[in-house]
Amino acid sequence: MSSKNLHCAGSEVTIDAPSTSDGSEMWRIACDSRKLDLNSSYTYLLWCRDFAGTSAVARADGDVVGFVTGYVRPQVPDTLMIWQIAVQTAHRGRGIATALLHDVLRRASEAGVTYVETTITSENEASIGLFGALAAHWGATVERSELFHSAQFPDEHDSEELFRIGPLSFVHTQVPA
């Protein structure tokens, strides 16, 4: 699996697909974010085994500092669903989340993906900004609609708004490193 390098504030940051040995750090980063739904630690290990091709980790000097998890929707194979993305606080604002998204998009585009979806809760300005910037980069449209209302959740959970971004014209454009 190929990897991408970028330089952030003196650190060498590498982006590549995760392996199961990254699952525990991904769980810790999700936990520390205090924004993401924290799934079981088992989920992250299993995800690394089964969906590594549509997921990525960022390593700064060898340590995992960010991750993105995604999957291609089985019934909508032109669409990559981004499930979770997080970067450790000390490494934010340096383009790492953008690089993670571009990495999974580059790989997914080779399998015919031209749309990205994610869900965001209304108060998450960083995430809204991140995906808005991604759409602007590609000159793509953002369609917003409610996917799950809070009443559908069995626990205290905000409504999840669906952001559908595309089409992304990979055929004519190079995904940046």
Ligand X SMILES: CC(C)(COP(=O)(O)OP(=O)(O)OC[C@H]1O[C@@H](n2cnc3c(N)ncnc32)[C@H](O)[C@@H]1OP(=O)(O)O)[C@@H](O)C(=O)NCCC(=O)NCCS
Return the closest-CA partner of residue 81 out of 158, 164, 173.
164
| Interface with ligand X, residue 137, by CB under 6 A | no
Contact letters (x/-) for ligand X, 81-120, by CB under 6 A?
Answer: ----xxx----xxxxxxx-------------------x-x
Judged by CB under 6 A, the residue of 25, 60, 127, 175 near ligand X is 127
Q: What part of residues 52-71 is at the interface with ligand X (CB under 6 A)?
A: none
Kind plus residue range of the DSSP H or E element containing 43: helix 41-50
For ligand X, the closer of residues 32 and 112 by Cβ is 32
| Interface with ligand X, residue 130, by CB under 6 A | yes
Report the chain's terminal Cα–Cα distance, integer Å.
15
Smallest separation (angstroms) from ligand X to the CB of 164: 14
| Interface with ligand X, residue 35, by CB under 6 A | yes
For ligand X, the closer of residues 155 and 171 by Cβ is 155
Give, as one character, the DSSP assignment of residue 54: G
Q: What part of residues 145-164 is at the interface with ligand X (CB under 6 A)?
A: none
What lies within 8 Å, CB to CB, of 67 at 6+ separation is 18, 22, 25, 26, 29, 55, 56, 57, 58, 84, 85, 86, 100
Structure tokens at 82: 């981004």
Number of neighbouring beta carbons within 10 Å of residue 41: 15
Q: Which stretch binds ligand X (CB under 6 A): 19-27, 31-39, 71-79, 104-112?
A: 31-39
Judged by CB under 6 A, the residue of 6, 11, 28, 36 near ligand X is 36
| Contacting positions for ligand X (CB under 6 A) | 33, 35-36, 85-87, 92-98, 118, 120, 124-127, 129-130, 133
